[in-house]
Amino acid sequence: MTIYLATENAGKIREMEAILSAALPGVTIKSMADLDTAARAQYSAEETGTTYAENALIKARALSQLVDGVVIADDSGFEVESLGGEPGVYSARYAENDGARCAKIISSLSGKPAEQRRAKFIACIAILTNGKNPVFVFGRKHGFVAEAPRGQSGFGYDPIFCPKAGGKTWGEMPAEEKNADSHRRRALDLVIQYLAGVVKGNTQYIP
């Protein structure tokens, strides 16, 4: 069985490959980087959805047109409670790069206490088998926005997210520590349950 990851985000690919490979031995994990040049050129997935599920499905369907088998696509977001849930589904477009996105949130929360710095990561993963019958799973991880970016690990908003108030940011944690209980790990655990059923010939959805 081969699982294709519908993402070009190197950070997501590293995390998803590490988690899936450990849990599903014998299953081959491929990403966009494993496609030939012609196939990569045909891949087009404009994220025009207004929800994580819509965007995940857009990406999954785009890759399903190019490959056979199981495709999974992740759409994730960072939501800050006191900012009305921003940046949310627009997390990747909140500013021009990761550093600017983190700085924008830090500036917006300047001087605010921990109770007003609550935030969460959300991951929605769409699963398509031969381009049909989409299944969606979600993972969430609650925490707090740090007062300043810390650490060089991870990607995206990791340097400003603390699972515990005043604790280490994901940017300060090794990948193994973050991946043990991240939003993406929680969603992928559900993907693994579902795909384990597929491998065994049981295609019933496992919530």
Is 75 annotated as catalytic?
yes
How far is the CA of 36 from the CAs of 2, 12, 71, 90, 119, in angstroms?
16, 20, 17, 30, 39
Report if residue 49 sits inside a domain: yes
CA 1 to the chain's CA centroid: 22
Kindly name the residue from 74, 75, 98, 158 that is annotated as catalytic: 75
Report if residue 101 sits inside a domain: yes
Report if residue 110 sits inside a domain: yes
- pTM to 2 decimals? 0.90
Q: Check whether 200 has a pLDDT greater than 60.
A: no
Q: pLDDT tens for residues 1-31?
A: 899 999 988 999 999 999 999 998 888 999 9
Report if residue 147 sits inside a domain: yes
Report if residue 157 sits inside a domain: yes
Percent of the chain with pLDDT over 90: 80
Q: Count the domains in the chain.
A: 1
Full domain range(s) for residue 176:
2-199
Report if residue 204 sits inside a domain: no
Query: Domain containing 120 — which CATH number?
Result: 3.90.950.10
Report if residue 168 sits inside a domain: yes
State the pLDDT at residue 150.
97
Report if residue 188 sits inside a domain: yes
